Structure formats: structure tokens, C-alpha cells
Copies of this chain bind each other. A is one copy, B any other.
Amino acid sequence: MSARVLIVDDVPANVRLLQALLEAEYFEVHTAMNGAEALDAVQRVKPDIILLDVMMPDMSGFEVCRRVKSNPLTRYLPIIMITALDQPEDRIKGFQAGADDYLVKPIDEVALLTRLRSLVRFKFLLDELEGSIGDELLLDTRLENSEHEPGRVGVLLADEARHQQMLQWLGQEHSLQVFNEPVALLDAVRNGRLDAVLLEMPLNGHDALRVCSQIRSLEHGRQLPVVLLMDQQAREKLTQALEICASDYLLKPVMLEELQARLNIQLKRWRYIQRLRENVRQSVTLSMVDPLTGLYNRRYFSTHGRALVEEAASRGRALSVLVMDLDHFKKVNDTWGHDAGDEVLCEVARRLQKQVRRLDVLCRVGGEEFVALLPGADTRVAQQVAERLRRAIADAPVRITTDNGPVDLNITISIGLAGYEQVNDSLETLLKRADEALYEAKRSGRNCVQVQRAA
């Protein structure tokens, strides 16, 4: 992994030391000697991560951190604070300023590189997701603020006494779930019931790293925050833990404020990733849906239709296509107006939807034109389905709302049908035949089903 690192320190010797270390690991290093330069470099260089000294003459590292984190555009840019201050209160101050991690001089090189890589991985994941979501949704997703929502935190510690203490410590702020066995914890992760996990290491009778890596093997666990509470003796396994699976760690004795701060940072990131994913997913779905009727739209039809034809071709599975068109729909619009026309379209969509299976694909592809793809249905079966669809519209009037109260309209549809028949059938040839059949249905008096076989 390579990345752009911004080193901020007012002491040239410190900068050179870190720079040499990081360049030997093939990171691309940029430097700044004070707060103003740092803020400028953030805009100009667009670093993937910042290593930030706390004590600087013009502007403290805490202040630089606060400014970077309060700008929505750089809110999730990872920052590691580096300092000679080793009092717990200083660490807390760093976290309160929004730092993602806090290392004390002299720097442990392995620890630094490990944290750096772990935070850069997170940054790259964000970049990928933010790139998908694009400018249209990004700013809003960043602004949504859920920082202080309680999290569902799974806890697996070495003994009952610690569990009790954790409940006392975090039970107010978060919804804690205590586990006595890894199996139950993994189950909760598998079902998406947790937003974070606190894991003690060593763990009575279990290998904490194994548990942690099992969490990572689960779909819902891949990015889930896992915070390790480690014995000083377990420290030698720290690098491995961070490489394999841990999101963060605290060395015992644990300080409540630091635990809260680190947990909240993890939860904040987790929620942001969830929001990004959710917004992207929602967009993809919306881009496939006809806003008026809620049916799939033409885009989904062509996308999914091609896949279904490919499947019919490769697996020899039956496939039928119905093209449906409301009869004399222009008259409805002309007589009763556009809103009434929309009401009719929505009611027709609802009735059609009720008559097809979950795996069938029903789309509104144009004004009053609908298409259904019926995988697994040969022409004979599809004909029965089509007849059912036709009757679902014709058998009961559609009620519309007018200024003079409700009015019942008799609506009918004509349906053209074509089935997958030959190896060189494509979505286009199927549609063409179904369109010909629809034309035939219109010509022969409407409100009926016609089938067109391949020539």
C-alpha cells in the first residue's frame, strides 16, 4: 500500500526522521512546518492521512485538527497526533479535537506504520465509496450528523466482574450486549445486530485474535469496529492484531474517557460508511424505478432482460415476454385530465403486480406501456398468465377522483406475447415479436392476448 502522507511538525529534525522512515516504506511524503502551512497543504496536496505534532508555536496541533475535522470536505481525513505529552488528559484532548489516533514520542516505528496502514485502508475504502456516490450526494451524506447516537456494542471480556464494570461504564451511553461465548457474539455479528465489538485479550479459554478474525470473515463483520482491550503482555501481538483484524486497541489499565473517545470515533466512522453504502444502494434502486407507479422502469427492463435472455440461452430455461398497452388511454387523459390518467396508470400497475410472481419482472417502459418478463414460463404458461393479467384490468372498473366526485372507468389492455424459442433470440428479437403480437391484438379489437412465434 502506498499513500500520500502529510507530516506537520515545527522541528525540522523531527520532520526529516519521519520522512525518512515513511519514504523507506514507499509512502509519498509532504511536509508542513506550522499550522497555516498544514491547512494549506490539506487543500493543495489532498493527503490520505496527516501526522500532526501537537506543540507548535503559531497554532497548536489540537487547533489544526479541529479545523480539518470541522470542514465537511475533510471531516473524515485520518489524523494521527504525535506528541511528547504523555499524560492521559492530553490523549483525551487529542481525541476531543477529533484525532483518529494519538502516539507518544519517542515513536515506536512498527506501531506507527501499523496504525498508518490501517487508517489508510479506511481512507481508501471511503474514497471508493465516495467516488461512487459522487458530488450529488456526498456533501449531504457528510453533513448528516449521527455522532452522538448510542451504538449497539457487543462485549466479550475475560470475566464477569469486567462485564459488570463495562456495563457501568458504557451502559448509559450505549446499548451494551454482554456475551459469554464467542459463538453467540459471532451470531449477533452475522445477523447485523451490532455496531461495534469490545474484545479482551487474552480471553479466558479463547484466542481473542481468532474471534476477531472470525468476525472479519462474516459479511457484516468486515468493516465492523472491533476494539481490543489488551494486557501489557499481549502487546507483542499488537501488530499482528492490527494487520489481521482489530480496528483499534487500548492497553490496560483502561481509562474510561479514552475508551469512550476511541469507541465513539469507531462508531462515527462505521455510521458514515453505512450511510454512504445506504445512499448508494438507494440511488441504484431509485434509478431503476418508475416514480409514478413504483414499477421497474425501462432501464431495469433492458438491463435485467438481457441477463434473463442470456440465462435462457445458456441454461435452456424457458422465458416469455409480454408487452401490454392500455386501450384508448389518450381518451382518458383528454376527457378526465392528466391526474386522472395517472390514477389509472397506478391502479393498473397495482393490479398487474398482484398477478405476477416475485421473480417475474414487471416494468412500465413508457406512457401507457408495460412489459413483463416471465422466466421459466413457456408460451403456454405465459398465455395463461397474460389472460389473467388482461382480466385483472377488464373485470372491474377503475375508480378515479374528479372535481365532481369519484367516477368509474372501464379500462382494458391489449397484450402481445413472445417466448424464447431459438439460440439466436435476443431481447430485441423477443420484443419485436411481442410488439408484432400486440399490434395484432390491437387490430383484432383490443382487450385480448395475441402470440407471435418466430418465423
Please report A residues at the B interface, Cβ cutoff 8 Å. 1-4, 25-28, 124-125, 127-129, 131-134, 136-137, 139-140, 143, 209-210, 212-214, 216-217, 222, 243-245, 277, 280-288, 291, 297, 299-300, 303-304, 306-307, 310, 330, 333-334, 337-338, 341, 367
**7 shortest interchain CB distances as A-B pairs:** A2-B213, A26-B213, A286-B287, A2-B216, A283-B287, A283-B284, A139-B307
Interchain CB contact (< 8 A) of A284 among B132, B244, B304: B132
In the assembled complex, the CB of A276 is this many whole angstroms from the nearest CB of chain B, namely: 9
CA gap between A283 and B289 in the complex, in Å: 11
Is B136 touching A303 in the complex (CB atoms < 8 A)?
yes
**Given A26-B244, A217-B2, CB of A143 within 8 Å of CB of B281:** no
Asked if A300 meets B136 with Cβ closer than 8 Å, knowing A244-B2, A284-B283, the reply is: yes
Among B125, B143, B216, B333, contact of A338 (Cβ-Cβ < 8 Å): B333
| A128, B131: Cα distance in complex, Å | 12
Cβ distance A246 to chain B, nearest Cβ, rounded Å:
11
What are 30 A-B pairs at a CB distance below 8 A? A1-B244, A2-B244, A2-B245, A26-B209, A26-B210, A28-B214, A124-B222, A128-B129, A132-B132, A132-B277, A132-B281, A132-B284, A134-B281, A136-B288, A136-B303, A137-B288, A137-B303, A140-B303, A140-B307, A143-B306, A143-B307, A282-B287, A283-B283, A283-B287, A286-B287, A286-B299, A330-B338, A333-B333, A333-B337, A338-B367
A26-B209, A284-B134 known; A304+B244 contact, CB < 8 A: no
Q: Which residue of B lies closest to A71 (CB)?
A: B314
Number of this chain's copies in the assembly equals 2
Given contacts A26-B209, A137-B284, A284-B287, 18 further A-B contacts (CB under 8 A): A2-B244, A26-B210, A26-B213, A26-B244, A28-B214, A125-B128, A132-B284, A136-B284, A136-B303, A136-B304, A140-B303, A140-B304, A140-B306, A143-B310, A283-B284, A286-B286, A333-B337, A333-B338
A4 smallest CB distance to B (angstroms)? 5
Residues in B neighbouring A288, C-beta threshold 8 A: 136-137, 283
